[in-house]
Amino acid sequence: MMKFSRITVNPHQMGGVPCIRGLRIPVATLITLMAEGMSEQEILANYPDLEPEDLREALSYAAYAVQERELTLLVPA
């Protein structure tokens, strides 16, 4: 099992969703921003409490979360 030092889950904060270092910044928000094409520099400028390593760990966490799980994909007809 992987260890994530920058990902925190607190049931009393943000509904218990995984966040970065106890901040109210969900991992899913960062992954979405990256998927939409926002650069690391842009994200860090918009979220000054973040560090570059936070973004790398968010990506690692997302990869781990979907590892070896079957997802339903739509196949074009």
Please state the domain count of the chain.
1
Give the domain range for residue 21. 7-66
Torsion from C-alpha of 56, 62, 63, 66, nearest 10 degrees:
180
Indicate whether 16 pLDDT > 90. Answer: yes
Where are any strands of DSSP class E within the chain? 7-8, 19-20
What is the CATH number for 47? 1.10.10.10
Has residue 72 been placed in a domain? no
**pLDDT at residue number 71:** 66
Has residue 74 been placed in a domain? no
Has residue 76 been placed in a domain? no
Has residue 35 been placed in a domain? yes
pLDDT digits (tens, 9 = 90+) for 25-68: 999 999 999 999 999 999 999 999 999 999 999 999 999 988 86
- Of 2 and 6, the structure prediction assigns the larger pLDDT to 6
**pLDDT at residue number 76:** 75
Has residue 1 been placed in a domain? no
Q: Which of 11-15, 28-32, 70-74 has the lowest mean pLDDT?
A: 70-74
Has residue 18 been placed in a domain? yes
